[in-house]
Amino acid sequence: MRLSIDHRTFYAFTAPQGRIVQLLRLTPSDLHDQTVASWHIAVDCDARMTHHRDGFGNATTMLYCEGPLDQLELTVTGEVVTSPSAGVLHGAHELLPPRFFLRTTPTTAADAEIADFATRAADGTDIPALHRLNHAVRDRFADDCGRPEAGLAVTDAFARDALTARDMAQVFIAAARAIGVPARYVSGYCDLAGDHRPTPHGWAEAWQEGLGWVGFDPWLGQSPEEHHVRVAVALDAAQAAPVAGSRLGDGREALEVDVTVQGAD
């Protein structure tokens, strides 16, 4: 499948900014089942970009914009060719052992309620068990199509009736770790998640000895397939965030994000 991505981020500032520095995790890597045909990051001002890889192996771009700036538009466009993989990850640039992804973070630490939910829903730790857990998360929550709440912990998310794709994935991650399965967050794109979304898509990967990393998308209730473009992984959503950075200047900022993903066979 050929997936076309258009991801636009617009910032408006109430006072001119002297400098903006951003860390972008917006560039997918080639995998056995994912080939980047074209990819372009652009900004509407004079800027400098440098390219690196972070500690998780993600491709990153450092963006430096000099002011004064009263607005900034960041545009990402590209095409990625994908093929079916049954959710199994092949050919990723791995720097860390699977057991590293048993670590919790402030937003993914499970409490006794989540641990009990995981034990009952999964009833094991093999692939069928993880699919049961994925479906249990999908069945528990309605869809929240808005912007995720920054810093929302899974213990607070678990008490809600509706969750974003990001928070469903983090509930799955916390639950999987609670039963001893290494799990991590994945940010990326998916044409099944809906057009004109306020954020990119997010799902989870869990480790299975002898098989490797396997994807689970609780928002869709299935494993990621050719409809998904994998971009970045980390212990939680904040560490895999598409954009993180700082600005030098007073005032407030208003943020608008529009993500459109279109697939063609």
Do 227 and 250 lie in a common domain? Answer: no
| pLDDT tens, residue by residue, 162-207 | 999 999 999 999 999 999 999 999 999 999 887 777 889 999 999 9
What is the per-residue pLDDT for 93? 85
Do 225 and 255 lie in a common domain? Answer: no
Do 212 and 224 lie in a common domain? Answer: yes
| pLDDT tens, residue by residue, 25-83 | 999 999 999 999 999 999 999 999 999 999 999 999 999 999 899 999 999 999 999 99
Do 70 and 180 lie in a common domain? Answer: no
Contact between 201 and 190 (Cβ < 8 Å): yes
Collapsing DSSP to helix, strand or coil, 197 comes out as: strand
Do 110 and 160 lie in a common domain? Answer: yes
The enclosing domain of 210 has a CATH number of 3.10.620.30
Do 235 and 160 lie in a common domain? Answer: yes
**CA pair distance 22, 33, nearest whole angstrom:** 29
Contact between 5 and 78 (Cβ < 8 Å): yes
The enclosing domain of 16 has a CATH number of 2.60.40.2250
Q: In which band, very low, low, confident or very high, does the pLDDT at 263 lie, cut at 50, 70 and 90? A: confident
Do 123 and 215 lie in a common domain? Answer: yes
- Determine the residue type at 65: C
Do 93 and 178 lie in a common domain? Answer: yes
What is the per-residue pLDDT for 198? 81
Do 206 and 232 lie in a common domain? Answer: yes
Do 134 and 199 lie in a common domain? Answer: yes
| pLDDT tens, residue by residue, 209-236 | 999 999 999 999 999 999 999 999 999 9
What is the per-residue pLDDT for 194? 75
| pLDDT tens, residue by residue, 92-109 | 989 999 999 999 999 999
CA dihedral over 151, 155, 156, 159, signed as positive or negative:
positive
| pLDDT tens, residue by residue, 119-175 | 999 999 999 999 999 999 999 999 999 999 999 999 999 999 999 999 999 999 999
For 17-64, give the secondary structure using H, E and C: EEEEEEEECCCCCCECCEEEEEEEEEECCCEEEEEEECCCCCEEEEEE
What is the per-residue pLDDT for 100? 98
The mean pLDDT value of the chain amounts to: 95
**CA pair distance 62, 139, nearest whole angstrom:** 39
What is the per-residue pLDDT for 201? 95
**CA pair distance 55, 239, nearest whole angstrom:** 10
Mean pLDDT along residues 83-91? 93
Do 227 and 116 lie in a common domain? Answer: yes
Count of domains forming the chain: 2
Range of the domain at 40: 2-81+243-264
Do 47 and 129 lie in a common domain? Answer: no
